[in-house]
């Protein structure tokens, strides 16, 4: 009896899990195969770099995590580091992908030297046993430039927020959090020890959660409850990889100024790719730590016109739809404040040929407007001022009202 009931239940469970496969992104009963690592900077983006005149041999001893931070958690302590400890490997691959540098092994130099000792010892023994002289190992490459630096900052929760709505048991909500990782990279001359160039880049890491739920009685003693949602955490390793690759690209372009390395075609010194980088560098001066563009957005002098449609609502029947207009003048007192003056007119009327009610209102006002976020595209503001409104009756009597 139990088996006859269990089989349909198991089959239904498997079918429901199979139907959820697109939603779960992976079949719950089958492992996902291994794949090549995800790429953020595509070959086309690397292709924006011009062709080098010759590759520069560089050495990377240790490009490490200098933050010393552990992965943030809402509760409890975590002994996992916030960022990858293999940044040296990421940097070496970025140097290879750029086609501008010839990286040589220095991180595990002891392993390389030990292996060369084994080769020399083996060749020497072979020569003693056979009498055939073996060739010497070629000399190791030496680097003219050493790349130093590391991951110097991991800032968690630089921006957090969310929104939600619930009505009679049905609702949806969303939350997000933004972290940031910062990378410094510098080139050092092995001849003089001089720091040739230093660049730094940063990359934000986004985490977001979206969910929806329903909690409702559909019948007497019948409760329907359902929920769905997903959470996405941008991999910190991919953010570090993107920041390191961006720093390599920046180092290439920065080296053009001091002729540390040159493109094969001299026209690429001021080509479209270099100009694009210089524009990005110039625009970056007007971007704050949260990634918002901070520019003077308000002119020192402004004139505005506005129109309105007005309809009387009151005790008189047959309200008439009339038009109104307003003119505005603003004079800036810097980026945060400005003086304003408004002049406008509107009419309220009702009845046939406006016979029941017909009043005209002319108003003028002035004051000070203070912007709380003057360099943002949209900003809250505080306004203080005074004015007067003149009400005109059908009998041409004018009555002013201060405001």
CATH number of the domain where residue 65 is located: 3.40.50.10610
Q: Are residues 263 and 232 in the same domain?
A: yes
Handedness of CA 238, 243, 246, 252 (dihedral sign): negative
Q: Are residues 279 and 394 in the same domain?
A: no
Number of domains comprising the chain: 2
Q: Are residues 386 and 280 in the same domain?
A: no
Residue 68 lies in a domain: yes
Q: Are residues 227 and 280 in the same domain?
A: yes
Q: Are residues 226 and 277 in the same domain?
A: yes
Distances (CA, A) of 157 to 119, 160, 163, 236, 344: 52, 6, 17, 14, 47
How long is the chain?
403
- Round to whole Å and give the CA distance between 39 and 42: 6
Q: Residue 306 pLDDT > 90, yes or no?
A: yes
| Contact (Cβ atoms closer than 8 angstroms) between residue 161 and residue 175 | yes
Residue 101: pLDDT band (50, 70, 90) is very high
- What is residue 307's predicted lDDT score, i.e. its pLDDT? 95
Residue 150 lies in a domain: yes
Residue 321 lies in a domain: yes
Q: Are residues 47 and 159 in the same domain?
A: yes
Higher pLDDT, residue 188 or 220: 188
Q: Are residues 309 and 369 in the same domain?
A: yes
Backbone angles phi, psi at 242, to 5 degrees: -65, -40
Q: Are residues 397 and 258 in the same domain?
A: no
- Round to whole Å and give the CA distance between 364 and 241: 60
77-91, 110-124, 160-174, 327-341: range with lowest mean pLDDT: 77-91
| Contact (Cβ atoms closer than 8 angstroms) between residue 150 and residue 63 | yes
Which two structure tokens, joined as six digits, stand for 298? Answer: 């308000």
SS3 245: helix
Burial label for 15, CB within 10 Å (0-12, 13-18, 19+), is exposed
Per cent of the chain over pLDDT 70 is: 89
Residue 291 lies in a domain: no
Residue 21: pLDDT band (50, 70, 90) is very low
Q: Residue 6 pLDDT > 50, yes or no?
A: no
Q: Residue 132 pLDDT > 80, yes or no?
A: yes
Q: Are residues 92 and 66 in the same domain?
A: yes
- What is residue 395's predicted lDDT score, i.e. its pLDDT? 59
Residue 212 lies in a domain: yes
- What is residue 23's predicted lDDT score, i.e. its pLDDT? 55
Domain final position from 250, 284, 318: 284
Q: Residue 244 pLDDT > 80, yes or no?
A: yes
- Round to whole Å and give the CA distance between 95 and 106: 14
Domain final position from 219, 250, 284: 284
Q: Are residues 217 and 350 in the same domain?
A: no
158: part of which helix (H) or strand (E)? Answer: strand 145-167
Residue 14: pLDDT band (50, 70, 90) is very low
Residue 60 lies in a domain: yes
Closest to 367 in 3D by CA, of 328, 322, 326: 328
Domain final position from 252, 284, 316: 284
Q: Are residues 244 and 366 in the same domain?
A: no
105: part of which helix (H) or strand (E)? Answer: strand 101-105
Domain ranges, residue 60: 39-106+143-284
Q: Residue 95 pLDDT > 90, yes or no?
A: yes
pTM, two decimals, is: 0.74
- Round to whole Å and give the CA distance between 241 and 234: 12
List beta partners, residue 102. 57
Backbone angles phi, psi at 219, to 5 degrees: -160, 175
Residue 340 lies in a domain: yes
- What is residue 375's predicted lDDT score, i.e. its pLDDT? 85
| Contact (Cβ atoms closer than 8 angstroms) between residue 152 and residue 64 | no
| Contact (Cβ atoms closer than 8 angstroms) between residue 151 and residue 64 | yes
- Round to whole Å and give the CA distance between 222 and 113: 75
Residue 262 lies in a domain: yes
- What is residue 102's predicted lDDT score, i.e. its pLDDT? 93
Q: Are residues 76 and 208 in the same domain?
A: yes
- What is residue 17's predicted lDDT score, i.e. its pLDDT? 45
């Amino acid at each position: 009896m139990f088996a006859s009931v269990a089989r349909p239940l198991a089959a239904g469970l498997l079918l429901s899990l199979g139907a959820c496969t697109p939603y779960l992104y992976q079949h719950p009963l089958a492992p996902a195969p291994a794949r090549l690592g995800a790429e953020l900077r595509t070959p086309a983006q690397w292709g924006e770099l011009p062709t080098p005149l010759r590759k520069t041999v560089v050495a990377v001893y240790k490009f490490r995590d200098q933050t010393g931070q552990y992965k943030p958690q809402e509760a409890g302590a975590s002994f996992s580091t916030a960022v990858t400890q293999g940044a040296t490997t990421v940097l070496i691959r970025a140097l290879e992908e750029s086609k501008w540098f010839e990286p040589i092994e220095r991180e595990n130099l002891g392993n390389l030297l030990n292996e060369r000792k084994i080769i020399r010892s083996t060749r020497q023994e072979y020569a003693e046993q056979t009498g055939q002289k073996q060739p010497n190992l070629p000399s190791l490459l030496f680097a003219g430039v050493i790349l130093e630096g590391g991951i110097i900052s991991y800032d968690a929760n630089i921006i957090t927020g969310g929104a939600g709505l619930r009505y009679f048991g049905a609702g949806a909500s969303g939350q997000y959090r933004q972290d940031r990782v910062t990378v410094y990279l510098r080139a050092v001359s092995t001849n003089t020890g001089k720091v040739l160039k230093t660049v730094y880049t940063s990359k934000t890491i986004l985490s977001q959660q979206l969910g929806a739920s329903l909690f409702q009685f559909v019948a007497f003693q019948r409760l329907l409850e359902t929920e769905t949602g997903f959470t996405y955490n941008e991999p910190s390793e991919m953010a570090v990889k993107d920041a390191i690759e961006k720093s390599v690209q920046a180092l290439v372009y920065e080296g053009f100024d001091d002729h540390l390395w040159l493109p094969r075609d001299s026209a690429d010194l001021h080509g479209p790719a270099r100009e694009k980088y210089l524009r990005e560098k110039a625009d970056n001066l007007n971007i704050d730590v949260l990634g918002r563009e901070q520019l003077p957005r308000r002119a020192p002098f402004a004139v505005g016109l506005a129109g309105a449609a007005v309809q009387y609502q009151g005790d008189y029947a047959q309200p008439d739809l009339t038009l109104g207009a307003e003119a505005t003048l603003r004079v800036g007192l810097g980026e945060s404040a400005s003086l304003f003056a408004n002049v406008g007119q509107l009419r309220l009327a009702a009845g046939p040929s406006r016979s029941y009610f017909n009043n005209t209102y002319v108003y003028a006002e002035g004051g000070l407007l203070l912007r709380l976020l003057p360099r943002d595209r949209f900003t809250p503001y505080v306004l203080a001022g005074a004015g007067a409104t003149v009400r005109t009756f059908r009998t041409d009597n004018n009555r002013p009202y201060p405001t």
